[in-house]
């Protein structure tokens, strides 16, 4: 799917750098940055309340997929994420690559509320002047357009469960790959 998204982006945009939202979007960013042969940068956008999610993730692995999808849909319907909309956005590394880039592509797996997308792009705009910033995600939810409109996506209103999902059976493999990248970053 990430390669399909890169092909869609390439029709009218050529990034100088790809910025992925840590850590869940690492694979997506990695595939797209390799497609365009440009540097990959990690940006953090954290919110309060993720502690609970970290505590229950081992239990979620035991729940049938259909129940997990129902719970995720319910979470979105209840607007849990929009009630806690402030993000702490920061870079650990890669500032030099962002400063030298004109065209920046930010990637995420899914845009639920638009708050993270908006605040990450505002952070880049406010700290790195004169950049063309485009945002791509595999999926976005219709409601998110009230806060932020993504430029490129493959799906709308779709619940994604990928290796980056804490309840995925591939999560540990994903974390190992992500950690290897961080060590070389």
Question: Over the range 48-57, which residues count as b (16 or more CB within 10 Å of their CB) and which as e?
Answer: eeeeeeeeee
Q: Are the CB atoms for 113 and 82 separated by under 8 Å?
A: yes
pLDDT tens readout for residues 137-164: 999 999 899 999 999 999 999 888 889 9
pLDDT tens readout for residues 40-92: 999 999 876 555 555 555 666 666 666 666 666 666 666 655 555 688 999 99
| 108 pLDDT more than 80 | yes
What DSSP element (H or E) covers 41?
Answer: strand 40-46
What pLDDT sits at residue 98? 94
The full set of domains in the chain, from first to last, is 2-184 (3.40.50.2020)
Percent of the chain clearing pLDDT 70 (strictly above): 79
CB-facing half-sphere around the CA of 147: CA atoms within 13 A: 21
Chain-centre distance for alpha carbon 25: 4
């Amino acid at each position: 799917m990430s390669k399909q998204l890169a092909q869609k982006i390439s029709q009218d945009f050529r990034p100088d750098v790809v910025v992925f939202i840590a850590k869940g979007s690492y694979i997506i960013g990695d595939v797209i940055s390799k497609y365009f042969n440009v540097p990959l940068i990690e940006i953090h956008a954290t919110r309060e309340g993720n502690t609970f999610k970290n505590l229950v993730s081992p239990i979620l692995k035991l729940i049938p997929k259909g129940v997990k999808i129902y719970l995720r849909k319910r979470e979105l319907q209840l607007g849990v994420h929009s009630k806690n909309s402030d993000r702490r956005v920061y870079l650990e590394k890669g500032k030099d690559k962002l400063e030298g880039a004109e065209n920046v592509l930010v990637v995420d797996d899914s845009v639920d509320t638009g708050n993270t997308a908006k605040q990450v792009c505002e952070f880049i705009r406010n700290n790195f002047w004169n950049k063309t910033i485009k945002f791509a995600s595999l999926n976005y939810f219709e409601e998110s357009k009230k806060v932020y409109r993504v430029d490129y996506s493959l799906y709308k209103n779709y619940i994604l469960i990928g290796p980056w999902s804490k309840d995925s059976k591939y999560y540990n493999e994903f974390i190992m790959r992500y950690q290897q990248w961080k060590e070389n970053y």
